[in-house]
Amino acid sequence: MPSGQTHDRITLWALPFVAGATFAQTKSGNLTLLVASGFMFGGLMFGPDLDIYSRQYQRWGLLRWIWIPYQKSLRHRSFLSHGPIIGTTLRVIYLSGVVGILVILGTVVAQILGNGDWSRQFLNETVGRSLNHIPELLALFLGLELGAMSHSLSDWSNSAYKRFQKQGVRGLLPRAKMKKRKRTTTQSNRTRTKRASKAKKH
């Protein structure tokens, strides 16, 4: 698996291509900025390796504790953390849930202190504004997904290259097919052995 430094370099090198391709497709500076920002954030701080004590995890600084339940709930490099779309979606839902809990706690504290009306109004305005910016939110999510996928693809390609070095083309085949081929080879060898033993008896 590539080091954290290698992942960072891949993110930084790919950023101009992601930004250029986005602007070529959208002709929008705002959407390009959101996709590029999401790509940077996804590659450096919001990627699949948040499921372990990684460089991405350490960059959260004093807030990294919020990812501890996430790490304990997932196996490293599982489909739920490294899978396309599902990994980013799960992290967005998880982080949104944590932020939501903190906002609710803040609202309760504000209610106790006598500022409940202001906090509820602020929350309602924030949610309302978010719903009015669906294209921008989708652009940001796309950037996060691209940043995460640059990380996962580099992991998978590196692992595939190592298997190719050790096993050749067979190392690139799905494990299920390789196991099936091994079982078929074993059965054919047994059949040959039985035939040979029968021939000797006759």
In tens, the pLDDT along 125-183 reads 666 666 677 889 999 999 999 999 987 787 677 666 566 567 665 655 665 444 444 45
Which pair of structure tokens corresponds to residue 62?
């004093």
Supply the range of the domain harboring residue 25: 4-174
Place 200 in a pLDDT band, splitting at 50, 70 and 90. Answer: low
Whether 197 is in a domain gets the answer: no
The answer to whether position 94 is within a domain reads yes
50 lies in some domain? yes
Residue 114 lies in a domain: yes
Burial class for 99, CB neighbours closer than 10 Å (0-12, 13-18, 19+)? exposed
DSSP state of 115: -
Token digits of residue 99: 């932020």
Residue 101 lies in a domain: yes
With respect to residue 167, please indicate whether it lies within any of the assigned structural domains.
yes
pLDDT tens track for 26-76: 999 999 999 999 999 999 999 999 999 999 999 999 999 999 999 999 988
The answer to whether residue 187 sits within a structural domain is no
- Cα–Cα nearest to 15, from 39, 46, 31, 48: 39
| Rounded mean pLDDT, 7-18 | 91
Please count the structural domains in the chain: 1
> Is residue 40 one of the residues assigned to a domain?
yes
Kindly indicate the confidence band of residue 110, based on its pLDDT and cuts at 50, 70 and 90. confident
Question: How wide is the angle at C-alpha 46 spanned by C-alphas 51 and 39, nearest 5°?
Answer: 145
Q: What is the mean pLDDT of residues 76-105?
A: 90
| 43, 151 contact by CB (below 8 A) | yes
